[in-house]
Amino acid sequence: MSSEVVALGQPTVGEAELKAIAEVFASGWLAGAGPTCQRFEERFAAVAGTAHALATNNCGSALHLAMLTLGVEPGDELIVGDYTFPATGHAVMYPGARPVFADIRPDIWTIDPAHVESLITPRTRGIVAVDVAGQPADYAELRAIADKHGLFIIEDAACAAGASYQGRPAGSLGDVATFSFHGRKNITAGEGGAFTTDRADLVAHARKLHTYGIAPAVDRAASSALPIPEFDELGYNYRLSDVAAAIMLVQLDRLPLLLRARQHIAARYEHLLGDFELIGTPQVAADRTHPWQAYIITLNSGIDRGEVAQRLRARGVQCNFGTYASHVQPLYGKTHECPVSADLFGRHLAIPMHANLTEAEIETVAAAVRTVVTDVAQGV
């Protein structure tokens, strides 16, 4: 058993984040949706290439707000990219709609537009595309389908901060996009999320719903009167705290360097593992910028992934499965098959990917993958 552990994921945080937190403490406004959140929203909208951004307490709540503001109702169907953490499908179910899972491309693992079109019924209201591991889906094709059938597009950009598609930033590729700032994401406050859109009506409604159905307190703070809000719509507490927003402002400063570091690591892995015949390495579409939230290898069929994972961990190399084939999860009931997603769900393995990896750690990981996968394949 190795005494040194190479972490699967790790945030890049330090004194700058601590200083930003101290400034929020000194301001006296720590609660959600305050002035620091407003500053973060302005900056994040610029990163996402949209007119508006709303900070939320996580990506799941941002997805729920997307459903509500786009008018999703019980009985509606939304076509969802199958290969995703089930928070995506859960959000469709929150307002009583049904997720209909579409299979994925075998090369970049994002939703297959051809399968999407085959699943459209009179109940279909929209498409939820997932930017898998941060790589954007095929939004030109999806937009053509959506426009043809009168559907909206939600971009689940949970992993995609800093990504781009045909020169446009992730976050600007659907009618609404949602982001995650969970601890394993490229930029993080431990938890957190964002809702981005160009539509003023959607963000205004989302802002109301994310504060119990009333305007946030900061909007009333400057009033010389004593405005008393009235509750006329059921809302939620989906606000991001100003403490987390302060961390996120520093993380936005770090984003260009973090992206370059992850892209360098991905290139090194490709150099060290790209010719290894027992695995497949991730592919990047030519018209996309990949932010590498995760680095996922594909084991050849017949190789025991569980055994590989145990042996890698014994060597101090953390690893995990990629993400979920949502359609096989019991919550969603009986559904049609998504064979590409199901196959990759059983063969994908995420290996360490974060901006703090050293050259020595990258080489250690690659060497361990080669040795362990070869031994397991040969039954050694």
Per-residue pLDDT tens for 23-69?
Answer: 999 999 999 999 999 999 999 999 999 999 999 999 999 999 999 99
pTM: 0.96
The pLDDT of residue 224 is: 73
Contact predicate 189/244, CB 8 Å:
yes
Is the CATH code 3.90.1150.10 the one for domain 255-378?
A: yes
Contact predicate 6/319, CB 8 Å:
no
Q: Choose which CATH entry (3.60.40.10, 3.40.640.10, 3.30.200.20, 3.10.20.30) describes domain 15-252.
A: 3.40.640.10
Mean pLDDT of 71-88: 98
Rounded Cα distance between 295 and 34, Å, is 36
The residue ranges of every structural domain in the chain are 15-252, 255-378
Locate 329 and state its tokens: 């999860």
Which of the residues 148, 185, 208, 334 is marked catalytic?
Answer: 185
Q: What is the pLDDT of residues 310-351, one digit of tens each?
A: 999 999 999 999 999 999 999 999 888 999 999 999 999 999
Pairing status of strand 77-81 against strand 98-102: parallel
Contact predicate 176/197, CB 8 Å:
yes
Rounded Cα distance between 310 and 293, Å, is 23
CA distances from 291 to 135, 154, 185 (A): 7, 19, 10
Q: What is the pLDDT of residues 226-270, one digit of tens each?
A: 888 899 999 999 999 999 999 999 999 999 999 999 999 999 999
Q: Is 19 a catalytic residue?
A: no
The pLDDT of residue 3 is: 64
